[in-house]
Amino acid sequence: MFKGLVKWARVKSPWILHMNCGSCNGCDIEILAALIPRLDVERFGVLLKGTPRHADVLVCTGPVTKQMKERLKRVYDQMPEPKFVVVVGQCGSSGGIYQGAYGVEGGIDTVIPVNAYIPGCPPRPDAIADGLIKLLASIDKGGKP
Amino acid sequence: MVCGKGVEGIDILLTLLYLFIFPGFLFLFAFSLFTEYLDRKIYARMQRRVGPPFLQPFADLVKLAAKEDVVPEKAEHFMFTAAPIIGLAAIFAAYLYLPIVSSTGLHSFNGDLVVVLYLLTIPTLALFLGGWYSGNVFGQKGGMRVASLLFSYEIPFFLALLTPALIEGSWKMADIVHFEISHPLEFIVSLLGFVIALIALQGKLERLPFDIPEAETEIVAGPLVEYSGRRLALFRLARDAEMVVGAGLLAVVFLAGPEPIVQLEPVYLSWIVGALVFLVKTLFVIFLLILMKSAVARIRTDQMISFAYKWLIPLALVQIFIAIMVRFLGGI
Ligand code: SF4
């Protein structure tokens, strides 16, 4: 019963941390647009937090540049367990148009484990919110997605 | 004691009930979470949003409590852990002195008003210590802001809350409540004090426009930067409880708390009525706090300090002068 309560709480209260790993900023603007009053993700308990210590879901954008690789790892390690990673945009999923560029490492999943991908260049704000909700639903269904 | 007459055994049982269930710790816990819900919901409604669901604060709390326990390497382990506990304990202790069900709290003595005021200062210090010992620059910066702003709201808060005590001539909350109910005019005389106390309480709770120590757009989360898991949950709970106790204190000192008491038999019924009256008044104060939060934006540190010293403190002194004059000229 206790486990059920904890899982319910986890699904109901995902606090997100937004991180730009080298994106063109298109995706980041769309993430901020997903947090506006119009979509009101606080309905689902989503709050934007500034520090990795408070966050449950890391929302990353963009291809991981060589400079950003260590920092992304560090931020990921600073988050307390259990943590989830959502990738927003084409670049983060695979490297996108930056694939093979000299300063670019590749998609986010070459550095840290990823739980959900939201494709698009950039994805619409409602698609981002929808991706987050789908992640929550899959956590609800069975542990780690 | 809570109950004057009755068998010893029942006395103890009732005291325990009072301490732990209603209106003790369990009730304070539930009421604090409800207050946070109200806060976020009304805030959201004022921005034309839907706002969080009813159980949201509870879900946040459970989630945080079930998260991994992280103490940063640079943090001082003992103080880092002790700070949230000290803060929460001080608030729970202050809560017990508030007269909730009847005009005397669990224990009422001359000077309990001052004790509650001091106990309400401790969470601020705990926040400062927690930020300072977290070993993070943002945390230390936030802690410094907490400490440097302390006096700008604490002085007007104390001065304003002493007005009713001055008019009545007693430091006992029970006496103040009695006096207020027999002299309703007192509210008008101390209206200025009520407004000042309300603004200062907002500063004390570090809410908009005085959320300078938190300032998530400047210093991430202030003193709470390194806090995670159950320590963060304790801090959040302490903040909500502080809001309840602070609002309850204003309701008691300025709005006569649980009075007018209807004497009913058995005594439980009159307790319930008293608690309901108290709740309505507390919620009214909380509502005013939320309105203030939704209507304003954050101000700078220097603006807040000059506002406090140029306006709040002089006005509080004027209020005290009025109180003394009223008392001198023969009371209300
Ligand atoms: S997916 Fe498109 S919008 Fe997003 S970072 Fe890449 S190029 Fe920019």
Cα-based distances in Å from B95 to A93, A119, B34, B71, B220: 52, 52, 16, 30, 31
Residue A15 counted as domain residue: no
Q: Are B36 and B64 in contact (CB under 8 A)?
A: no
Residue A145 counted as domain residue: no
Gap between the Cα atoms of B178 and B174, Å rounded: 6
Residue A99 counted as domain residue: yes
The alpha-carbon gap from A19 to the nearest alpha carbon of chain B, in Å, equals 14
Chain B residues with CB-CB distance to A42 below 8 A: 40, 44, 49-52
pLDDT tens profile A12-47: 888 888 888 888 888 888 888 888 888 888 888 888
CB–CB contact B62 A82 (8 Å):
no
pLDDT tens profile B194-229: 888 888 888 888 877 777 777 666 777 778 877 888
Best of A51, A76, A78, A136 to disrupt the B interface (most B CBs within 10 Å) is A51
Of residues B280 and B169, which shows the higher confidence score? Answer: B280
Chain A's closest residue to B67, CA to CA, is A81
The dihedral formed by the CA atoms of A19, A22, A25 and A30, expressed in degrees to the nearest 10: -40
Residue A82 counted as domain residue: yes
CB–CB contact A6 B63 (8 Å):
yes
**What are the tokens at A121?**
């260049």
Q: Are B128 and B287 in contact (CB under 8 A)?
A: no
pLDDT at B7: 45
Q: Cis bond leading into B260, ω under 30°?
A: yes
Find the A128 Cα to ligand 1 centroid distance in Å: 13
Provide the CATH number for the domain around residue A92.
3.40.50.12280
pLDDT tens profile B41-72: 888 888 888 888 888 888 888 888 888 877 77
Starting at the edge strand found earlier in the chain, the sheet holding A57-61 runs: A47-48, A15-20, A57-61, A84-88, A116-118
ipTM over 0.85: no
CB distance A93 to ligand 1 below 6 Å: no
Q: Can you give the three-state secondary structure of chain B, one letter per residue?
A: CCCCCCCHHHHHHHHHHHHHCCCCHHHHHHHHHHHHHHHHHHHHHHCCCCCCCCCHHHHHHHHHHCCCCCCCCCCCHHHHHHHHHHHHHHHHHHHHHCCCCCCCCCCCCCCHHHHHHHHHHHHHHHHHHHHHCCCCHHHHHHHHHHHHHHHHHHHHHHHHHHHHHHHHCCCCHHHHHHHHHHCCHHHHHCHHHHHHHHHHHHHHCCCCCCCCCCCCCCCCCHHHCCCCHHHHHHHHHHHHHHHHHHHHHHHHHHHCCCCCCCCCCCHHHHHHHHHHHHHHHHHHHHHHHHHHHHHCCCCCHHHHHHHHHHHHHHHHHHHHHHHHHHHHCCCC
pLDDT at B106: 65
What is the number of CB-based contacts under 8 A between chain A and chain B?
A: 81
Residue A10 counted as domain residue: no
Residue A38 counted as domain residue: yes
Question: Is the pLDDT at B122 greater than 50, yes or no?
Answer: yes
User: Strand, helix or coil at A102?
Assistant: coil
Q: For A83, phi and psi rounded to 5 degrees?
A: -130, 155
pLDDT at B3: 43
Q: Are B247 and B279 in contact (CB under 8 A)?
A: no
Chain B residues with CB-CB distance to A37 below 8 A: 44, 47-49
pLDDT tens profile B126-175: 888 888 888 788 888 888 888 888 888 888 888 888 888 887 777 877 77
- What percentage of residues in chain B have a pLDDT greater than 90? 0
Q: Are A124 and A27 in contact (CB under 8 A)?
A: no
CB distance A52 to ligand 1 below 6 Å: no
Gap between the Cα atoms of B14 and B2, Å rounded: 8
Mean pLDDT for all residues in chain B: 80
CB distance A96 to ligand 1 below 6 Å: yes
Residue A12 counted as domain residue: no
pLDDT tens profile A81-113: 888 888 888 888 887 788 888 888 888 888 888
Question: Is the pLDDT at A145 greater than 60, yes or no?
Answer: no
pLDDT tens profile B3-39: 444 445 567 777 777 777 777 788 888 888 898 898 8
pLDDT tens profile A129-142: 888 888 888 877 76
Chain B's closest residue to A38, CA to CA, is B49
Q: The whole model's pTM is what?
A: 0.83
Residue A7 counted as domain residue: no
- Closest alpha carbon to B288 in B69, B114, B42: B42
Question: Is the pLDDT at B1 greater than 60, yes or no?
Answer: no
User: Strand, helix or coil at A76?
Assistant: helix
Count of CB atoms situated within 10 Å of the CB of B267:
16
**What are the tokens at B183?**
């002299």
Considering only CB atoms, which residues of chain A are within 8 Å of chain B?
A: 5-6, 8-10, 12-13, 37, 40, 42-43, 45, 49-51, 53-54, 56, 80-82
The alpha-carbon gap from B157 to the nearest alpha carbon of chain A, in Å, equals 31
pLDDT at B265: 63
Residues A53-63, mean pLDDT to the nearest whole number = 87
pLDDT bucket at A67, cuts 50 / 70 / 90? confident
Provide the number of structural domains found in chain A: 1
Residues B181-193, mean pLDDT to the nearest whole number = 77
Considering only CB atoms, which residues of chain B are within 8 Å of chain A?
A: 40, 44, 47-53, 55-56, 58-63, 66-70, 138, 216, 220-221, 224-229, 232
Q: Which domain holds residue A52?
A: 24-139
